[in-house]
Structure formats: structure tokens, C-alpha cells
Amino acid sequence: MRITSETSTDGVREQLFTLGDVPGVLWTPDGSTGPRPLILMGHGGGRHKKDPEILARAHRFAADGGFAVAAVDVPAHGDRPKVPAYDRLVAENRARVAAGEELAPLIARFQALVSARTVPEWRAVLDALQRLDHVGPGPVGYWGVSLGCGLGVPFVAAEPRVRAAVLGLGGALASAGEAAGITVPVTFLLQWDDERVPRDQGLALFDALGSAEKTLHAHPGGHDALRPHEPDSSLAFFTRHLTHA
């Protein structure tokens, strides 16, 4: 792992890094030393590791919760090169939607393809980050909605270091089987009028989660309209499950 830059904004240190060909970013409270719980965040489709949605929450988690927070670019996103196989599938999916097919199963198919790469990448990123003095081998949380949920479900199911996850804006078609393998506490965010994920598919993914402790938070509005109070509740959730462990 190579740290390529370090800056500080509003009490939060931001370190850009690369691990092999994976570009990432790590946020920690300014001046922090010693181990602390780590939250890995997965960005949405077409977005990137420093998307405003990620950045605002990461700052909140680091500044107000004392967490280390990291995000990496998903293949074909952010600073990473295009992946011809993804482009072909996206083009094919567009044509199918234009021809009247449902969007949700096509999203699911795309996410399954991408997660075959991201699950091992993210596990390697955890390995590397946890060797840093100001991260260390503590408990890990995961936050990801939309594509970050589609990729997050197989990751959380596969990675025993993850002790709590915020997921959402995803449907059961993508990952009901893997969801059943998740047993850690989950907060699941659902937009009641989601135009990309049919409501029954979102409810079915929440239902499929194997976790004994899981909470569904649903709000009116479309796929891109998560509520301003959501970061408060995510911060309280991670604090409960990662810092009292």
C-alpha cells in the first residue's frame, strides 16, 4: 500500500492511497494515533470514492465518532480504467430496458459480475489498512447503498471482520442468497418511492438478511433522495456496535 497524498480539512486527515491498481482514500481524525474501528464505505453506481455522499458521511464518522473511514473506487469508476466487459453489459442492459425488460434483474446481473472483483479487493484493502498504526486490527463496519449495497451484501457475508453494516437501496434479486448469510446487525435504508428498486424487492432483501438484529428505515422519496438525518442514525448505530465491542 502506497500513501500518495495527505491533507486535512475540518479536523479530518485525508490520505489517498493505492493498493496495487486500486485507488482509495482513508479518513481519520486529525492527530489520531493508535487503533480505532474502521468503516469501509462502498460508493454508488457511476460515482466514486470521494463522491459528496461518501465524503460528507466519512467526515461525520471520523470527526464525530472517532472512526477510521475508507473508500475505494469500484472497477470502471473514479480513477480506474473502463472495463470493456462492463461496458458491453451496460449497453446490453440499456437495449433490454429500451425493449421493455425490467431494470432490476439487469442491475442484479451487473452487480454480481462486479462483486466477483470487489469482494477480494476490499478484503485486501482491509488487510492493508489494518496494518497502519492509526487504524489497527479493530472491528470493521460497512456502509453502502445502491451499488454499494449490491457489492456490500456479498462482501459483508464473506468478511468476518465486519461486525455491523448499513445497507440499502438494493433489492433481493441481486443477492438474497448471500443476504441470508449475513448475521451481523444491519440498518437497511429503503426509499419508499424508489424508481430503480421496486418496493417489494427492497423489502424482500431486508427480509432475506439472516441477522437477528436488523432495522429497516424507510422514507418517502426516490432512489437519490436519502434523508438528511440518516447519517445521525448511522453514526449512532456504528458507535453502538463497533466501539462497545
Residues forming contacts to a copy of itself in the complex (CB under 8 A) are 190, 192, 203, 206-207, 212-220, 227, 229, 232-233, 236, 240
Specify whether the CB–CB gap between 147 and 80 falls below 8 A.
no
- Closer of 93 and 233 to a copy of itself (Cβ): 233
- Closer of 85 and 236 to a copy of itself (Cβ): 236
CA atoms of 22 and 20, how far apart (whole Å): 6
Q: What DSSP line would sit under 122-166, residue for residue?
A: HHHHHHHHTTSTTT-S--EEEEEETHHHHTHHHHHHH-TTEEEEE
- Closer of 17 and 206 to a copy of itself (Cβ): 206
CA 23 → CA 13, 76, 105, distances in Å? 17, 12, 29
- Rounded to the nearest whole angstrom, what is the least distance from the CB of residue 192 to a copy of itself in the complex? 7
- Closer of 136 and 210 to a copy of itself (Cβ): 210
- Closer of 109 and 227 to a copy of itself (Cβ): 227
- Rounded to the nearest whole angstrom, what is the least distance from the CB of residue 72 to a copy of itself in the complex? 31
- Rounded to the nearest whole angstrom, what is the least distance from the CB of residue 169 to a copy of itself in the complex? 15
- Rounded to the nearest whole angstrom, what is the least distance from the CB of residue 218 to a copy of itself in the complex? 4
CA 94 → CA 27, 78, 91, 232, distances in Å? 36, 21, 5, 36
Q: How far is CA 132 from the centre of its chain?
A: 21
- Rounded to the nearest whole angstrom, what is the least distance from the CB of residue 216 to a copy of itself in the complex? 4
